Structure 1
Amino acid sequence: AKKTGDVTELQIGVKHKPATCEVQAHKGDKVKVHYRGKLTDGTVFDSSFERNNPIDFELGSGQVIKGWDQGLLGMCLGEKRKLKIPAKLGYGEQGSPPTIPGGATLIFDTELVGVNDKSLNEEKQNSEL
């Protein structure tokens, strides 16, 4: 049963692109990402913005769901993307109980805030205060 808003392929929407792209995220880079994850009905199941604690992981090495490993490639530092991720690139048919039902399309608002040793200027300034 296909619900409204479900996708079968990964969809990437660029919400904001920085004026200059200093550094891009490639496979094998250590990246820091702020994210808000929603189901297609609008339920937010996870958000690093609320915790003010971005996730860091190695891109393209299977530490996160496939939709992220694919959807964040080539992203510029400071870029914001909206990812619509089909279940096969998310948590699949089994889902991630109790928050994510099986077969769920996931919608992530993501912001790339760090690549390897480079981070967004705001972060640098804050750390010196």
Structure 2
Amino acid sequence: MRFFKPTLVAIALVTVMGCQEKAPVEKELVLDTDVQKQAYSLGASIGMYMERNLEEQAKMGIVLDQEIIFQGYKDSLAGKSQIEREDIQAILMSLDQQMKAKQAEAAAAESEASKAEGVAFLAENAKKEGVMVTESGIQYSVITAAEGEKPTAEDTVKVHYKGTFLNGETFDSSYDRGEPAVFPLNRVIPGWTEGVQLMPVGSKYKFTIPSELAYGEAGSPPRIPGNSVLEFEIELLDIQKAEAPAQVGE
């Protein structure tokens, strides 16, 4: 994560925020010209950037006093900063390292919680009527049956799908994008490579994929935490067969 650094652009924002905190605006701001709108937009964009950084730091227990931020800007602009330039850079690097350490700690805790939740969920889900379990541990049920051809790992498939976390939150969906996905079946997570091969064209299955057959301990930051058990509803629309290798001498 990148943190606020005292660049000229960021300082401009601090000035705006500081003035708003310290002195009420006597008249409404007028934004008639392009230059005025550009200036305001620059400040607004930096404000949103700073807000995100300060919020992320606060989540990790690092709360920075905005009044001190404003004062640091004013002192620096007046040439009387209470901290030397070299020390400022070292302090900000330390803040960056501190934040990364806290984020890593939080991610590890979240990963362990996901692992425990996933193990418990898989054990209960396997007991449900209609749920089948493969030798590798993939759980699936048939939503719509079909009698079509089944793909091999070397084929390219055309599918509609929706991926959700165990709490039901959708993290990816071709339905939401309004068009099917097309990809080689051996270029996706192992759970997909194995699971979709069970499906005839025209069928729709629901898969519950253990984390080790999905994105594993590392997850897929920032969207998917480590050790996440994932659920997918997949509709197999078409198969594009892999081309047979050319024979020697042909």
TM range (shorter): 0.7 to 0.9
Greater displacement, 69-78 / 7-16: 7-16
1:5 aligns to what? 121
Tell me by how many angstroms 1:81 deviates: 0.6
Q: Which of 15, 21, 40 pairs up with 2:143? A: 15
Q: What are the within-5 Å matches in structure 2 for residues 113-128 of structure 1?
A: 113-116=237-240
Structure 2, gaps ≥5 residues long:
1-112, 124-135, 242-250
1:53 aligns to what? 179
Higher RCO by CA contacts (8 Å cutoff, separation 6 or greater) = 1
Alignment partners' CA distance in 2, 1:12 and 1:22:
18
Alignment TM-score, normalising by the size of structure 1 = 0.80
Tell me by how many angstroms 1:15 deviates: 1.0
User: Over aligned residue pairs, what C-alpha RMSD do you find?
Assistant: 1.8
Q: Please list every run of at least 4 consecutive aligned residues from structure 1 whose deviation after the TM superposition is greater than 6 angstroms.
A: none
Aligned pair count reads 113
Greater displacement, 5-14 / 91-100: 5-14
Structure (1/2) with the larger strand percentage: 1
2:66 aligns to what? none
- C-alpha offsets along residues 38-96 of structure 1, whole Å, 9 cap, x if unaligned? 0001110000011122221122x2x1000000011131111001010011000101111
The percentage of counterpart residues that share the same residue type is 40
Tell me by how many angstroms 1:6 deviates: 4.3
1:85 aligns to what? 209
Alignment TM-score, normalising by the size of structure 2 = 0.43
Tell me by how many angstroms 1:113 deviates: 0.9
Alignment partners' CA distance in 2, 1:93 and 1:42:
21
Look up the equivalent residue of 2:159 and give its one-letter code.
V
Structure (1/2) with the larger helix percentage: 2
1:120 aligns to what? none
Look up the equivalent residue of 1:83 and give its one-letter code.
F
Structure 1, gaps ≥5 residues long:
118-129
Greater displacement, 50-59 / 63-72: 50-59
* Larger Cα-atom Rg: 2
SS class of match (1:15): strand
Alignment partners' CA distance in 1, 2:211 and 2:235:
21
SS class of match (1:5): helix
